[in-house]
Amino acid sequence: MIAAEESISGVGRIKERIGVLFELLKFRLASLIAFSGAMGYCLGAKQVETGKLILFIIASIGITGAANIINQILEKDLDKMMKRTANRPLPSGRISVDMAIVWAVFLGLVSMVIFVFVFNLSTGLISLLSLVLYGFVYTPLKRVGPIAVFVGAFPGAFPPMIGWVAATNHFGLEPGILFAIQFFWQFPHFWAIAWVLDEDYKRAGFKLLPANGLKDLDTTLQIMIYTVFLLPIGWLPYELGMTGINSAFVATVFGVLFLAQTFHLMRKCTDKTARQLMFGSFIYLPIVQIAFLLDKL
């Protein structure tokens, strides 16, 4: 009876540890980023091989998870200061820093092996650059100023480009356009989040809002300017023959709606309208990327 109880308890602890590991790599976020990379892979590939696509998604989740873990290790003490992050695995003490390092190294190495040996060296190098920029450059810059958002936009925009390079083993205008769409999208996306979480971020000393760092008209103006770029860029995949006319219209319509939300934020300058813009950003990117995929099919 005691042995059975100990066995059940042991299984429970194992499940709990696995849950903590998945929580640490931010699996849902990593999956969304992997989807973005898979979109680039499918657009670039002449013929999509299911096995290779699955391996690409696994490696994408792994390298993104490793970067997320590095971010959390470096910000462990800062996360304790913020309400939304205080219960994360590291600040709450549910996992040690040493174990988190081992998990990050494992994920990073496995991902790099897949990228380099299943796909090509270029894919591995860009992925490694993405990890370094996010984990070791963007993370410490968050306490310096909004330059962190600009730096972080590069690794954040790499996934679809990495996917294209994994499928084709070459650079060019096509992966550059996929990169540009996700690059400019990140500014309204991150600044809307920074606006909503401004009070929490200030507790940790994070300075992410542009201009003078205030929730005012100057900040909303910069958000609007970056969003405007999405309109012409969203049309370019069609012009380059990557997708059809239908997805170009979808990108334009959702780009206009996204831009309208920035004007609404400019008029109101409230947390409520910033939150609406934040959710709008979550809708815009996957809808446009799904449209690109469907149009190619």
Pick from 232, 253, 234, 231: nearest CA to 242: 234
Phi, psi values for residue 224, rounded to 5°: -65, -40
- What HEC string does 247-262 produce? HHHHHHHHHHHHHHHH
pLDDT for 8 equals 54
Q: Say whether pLDDT at 253 is over 50.
A: yes
pLDDT for 15 equals 82
pLDDT for 297 equals 72
- In b/e form, how buried is each residue of 67-106, taking b as 16+ CB within 10 angstroms? bbbbbbbebbebbbbbeebeebbbbeeebeeeebeebbee
pLDDT for 5 equals 47
Copy the structure tokens of residue 124: 């591995």
* DSSP string over 149-213: HHHHHHHHHHHHHHHHHHHHS--SHHHHHHHHHHHHHHHHHHHHHHHHTHHHHHHHT---SSTTS
Q: What is the mean pLDDT of residues 246-271?
A: 96
pLDDT for 9 equals 58
Q: Say whether pLDDT at 6 is over 80.
A: no
Work out the percent of the chain whose per-residue pLDDT is above 90: 88
pLDDT digits (tens, 9 = 90+) for 225-242: 999 999 999 999 999 999
Axis-axis angle for helices 97-113, 50-74 (nearest 10): 150
Spatial distance between the Cα atoms of 205 and 95, rounded to a whole number of angstroms: 24
Q: Is-contact 95 104, C-beta < 8 A?
A: no
Distance of CA 13 to the CA centre of its chain: 30
pLDDT digits (tens, 9 = 90+) for 27-79: 999 999 999 999 999 999 989 999 999 999 999 999 999 999 999 999 999 99
pLDDT for 278 equals 96
pLDDT for 100 equals 96
pLDDT digits (tens, 9 = 90+) for 137-163: 999 999 999 999 999 999 999 999 999
pLDDT digits (tens, 9 = 90+) for 170-224: 988 999 999 999 999 999 999 999 999 999 999 999 999 998 888 999 999 999 9
CATH match for 1-170 among 3.30.9.10, 1.10.10.10, 1.10.357.140, 3.40.50.300: 1.10.357.140
pLDDT for 14 equals 81
Q: Say whether pLDDT at 4 is over 50.
A: no
| Statement: the pTM of the whole predicted model exceeds 0.75 | yes
Q: Say whether pLDDT at 2 is over 60.
A: no
